[in-house]
Amino acid sequence: MTTSTIAQAEISTQANVYFDGKCVSHSITLADGTKKSVGVVLPSQLTFKTGAAEIMECVAGACEYKLAGSDNWLSSGPGDKFSVPANSSFDIKVAQAYHYICHFG
């Protein structure tokens, strides 16, 4: 099931802009201190590096992704999630806008 809303959240109004505007997100902090970001990746092929572990949840659009150390591209569409370990990276290919929630763990 795709997450459609996030209740009781503090949202940063200043956008996080990465890769010359190909990825734009907003940081969210829940009442319990949990951190997330909500954003969109525009058509491109990018490499993201992680500090904390992440779960990427697709809420609209689609992407292909490849985790560090893998040669396999996998698909993610609405309702799909994939996990990325801390201090790692992943490649992402987007043909149409990929809307996501990044759950930090």
Is the CATH number of domain 9-104 2.60.120.10? yes
Angle at 63 between CA 42 and CA 41, to 5 degrees: 20
Contact 82, 74 (CB under 8 A): yes
Angle at 90 between CA 68 and CA 48, to 5 degrees: 130
What are the boundaries of each domain within the chain?
Answer: 9-104
44-99 tens-digit pLDDT: 999 999 999 999 999 999 999 999 999 999 999 999 999 999 999 999 999 999 99
pTM beyond 0.85, yes or no = yes
Q: Is residue 1's pLDDT more than 80? A: no
